[in-house]
Amino acid sequence: MRRDRFLIGILAGIVVLAALSLAVYLARRGGLSYGPENTPEGVVQNYIVALQRGDYERAHAYLTDFENKPDLPRFLQPFNNYQDRDISLTGVEIRGASMAADGQSALVYLSLLRGGNSPFDQGYRENNTAELVLEGGEWKIRNMPYPFWSYEWSPPPSEAIKQPPAMEP
């Protein structure tokens, strides 16, 4: 009889831990939220959130017009094939931005957190930048790091975009 109560207690504890784990997982998963649309950092955040939520039309709307800009079906192709998996496995930290002197372009500094999916793998941090331009009064993305961008879309280098000074890490 005592052994049965002890076993029931252990099973009840396991059920409670499983329920708490599920609640934490669902709470963290819902943490993606859109930010302001009027800053370079906000546009980059919104683009990433849209990709993570599968809202590809909204993500596509954040792209500037450039020579190799994909139409929506071509934009969807890499995400439907494989990049959506890479996006879900990549953590992103927006570290700041710097604006060009003329105020028409900006760089947003990102840290991409990759790996760390097993107990002995701490992963690694990769510093990168997103390139934005002011187009019609709105910030639009001209270039992003992989996996949020396909190499096929990269616009040719432009002298019209003045690179802001590098931000110190």
Residue 6 resides in a domain: no
- Any idea which residue has 């953590």 for tokens? 91
pLDDT of amino acid 97: 94
Residue 63 resides in a domain: yes
Q: For residue 136, is it left (φ>0), alpha (ψ between -120 and 50) or beta?
A: left
pTM, two decimals, is 0.71
- 84 pLDDT above the threshold of 70: no
Residue 59 resides in a domain: yes
Residue 1 resides in a domain: no
pLDDT digits (tens, 9 = 90+) for 58-83: 999 999 988 888 999 999 988 887 66
- Which residue range(s) make up the domain with 96? 30-153
- Mean pLDDT for 38-64 is 94
Residue 60 resides in a domain: yes
Number of domains in the chain: 1
pLDDT of amino acid 160: 43
Residue 165 resides in a domain: no
Considering the chain, what is the average pLDDT of its residues?
82
Residue 4 resides in a domain: no
Residue 3 resides in a domain: no
> DSSP string spanning 18-47?
HHHHHHHHHHHHTT-----SSSHHHHHHHH
- Who has greater pLDDT, 103 or 82? 103
Cα–Cα distances (Å) from 130 to 17, 80, 83, 139, 141, in that order, read 41, 22, 17, 12, 7
Decide: helix, strand or coil at residue 153: helix
Asked if 116 and 147 touch (Cβ cutoff 8 Å), the reply is: no
pLDDT digits (tens, 9 = 90+) for 120-156: 767 788 899 999 999 999 999 999 988 888 888 876 5
pLDDT of amino acid 25: 67
- Who has greater pLDDT, 28 or 6? 6
Residue 111 maps to which CATH number?
3.10.450.50
Burial of 117 (0-12, 13-18, 19+ CB in 10 A): exposed
